[in-house]
Amino acid sequence: MRILFIGDVVGRSGRTIVSERLPKLIRDWKLDLVVVNGENAAGGFGITEVIYNEFLDAGADAVTLGNHAWDQREALVFIERAPKLIRPVNYPAGTPGRGAALIEAKNGARALVMNVMGRVFMDPLDDPFAVVERELSACPLKQQADAIVIDMHAETTSEKQAMGYFCDGRASLVVGTHTHAPTADHRILSGGTAFMSDAGMTGDFNSVIGMSKDEPVNRFLRKIPSGRFEAADGPATLCGLAVETNDNTGLAKRVAPVRLGPHLQEARAEFWD
């Protein structure tokens, strides 16, 4: 299976490059599964139903969230009619929506897509490791799912790496999101799980993690807010991770970073070009 994971889409700039580039990437790379993190898609804060549908129209098979899941209050309602919108699985019982979903890929295969939030320097949610263990036990790789993709939305690299090793051999991909800066540690772990500490953001990198620079810089200098954070609106870079799995095992056999756009050195899944 050919999988493309796209890191945190920030604002209109990020949405535009997804809409413009993703359909061609699906055709050229013959992608089977596309997962997009969309928790910053609405002006940097949350997601709306219109934006969710834009991602699906562009070719996304699932959209994951994170700590900004409910910044747009409408998400609390429309997530119940959005089966491919996946919020953190370790939210308390009774939270609207779902934290894991069995998605039908473009090739007809079954992919379990899960979103989980870390707890270090984040909200004190349920234990992410215990919850992920529960989900993996209920839907084992190659028994109930042909591929398993886990979006680990967390602040610290250590917690993301720990989750990667915890799932090694039981998931196709564990990829970190939230910190918006792509890391250089993409690899296949010893048990066959593809891993990257952070996929990076899909947005304008002439910014402070996707926000227009002046207000974040001012707050660091003076510790006094002078305005709202606003998503930077310059040309975006699409960042993510490309993974090809073994059809017999569901584990990764090839992995490569993807960076398409200005400001960062371009990287492509050259084994598919």
Instruction: Give the tens place of pLDDT for each residue, 76-120.
Output: 999 999 999 999 999 999 999 999 999 999 999 999 999 999 999
What percent of the chain lies above the pLDDT cut of 70? 100
- Across the chain, what does the average pLDDT equal? 97
Parse the chain into domains and list their residue ranges: 2-260
- What does the pLDDT read at residue 228? 87
Q: 68, 153, 178, 180: which one is catalytic?
A: 68
pTM, rounded to two decimals: 0.96
Q: CATH number of the domain at 2-260, please?
A: 3.60.21.10
Per mean pLDDT, which range of 43-47, 177-181, 196-200, 224-228 is the poorest?
Answer: 224-228
Active site includes 263? no
Q: What is the DSSP string of the chain?
A: -EEEEE--BBHHHHHHHHHHHHHHHHHHHT-SEEEEE-TBTTTTS---HHHHHHHHHHT-SEEE--TTTTSSTTHHHHGGG-TTEE--TTSPTT-SSBSEEEEEPTTS-EEEEEEEE--TTS---S-HHHHHHHHHHHS-BTTTBSEEEEEEE-S-HHHHHHHHHHHTTT-SEEEEESS-S--S--EE-TTS-EEES----BB-SSSBTTB-SHHHHHHHHHSS--S---B--S--BEEEEEEEE-TTT--EEEEEEEEESSSS--B--TTT-
Instruction: Give the tens place of pLDDT for each residue, 19-44.
Output: 999 999 999 999 999 999 999 999 99
Per mean pLDDT, which range of 44-53, 137-146, 222-231, 258-267 is the poorest?
Answer: 222-231
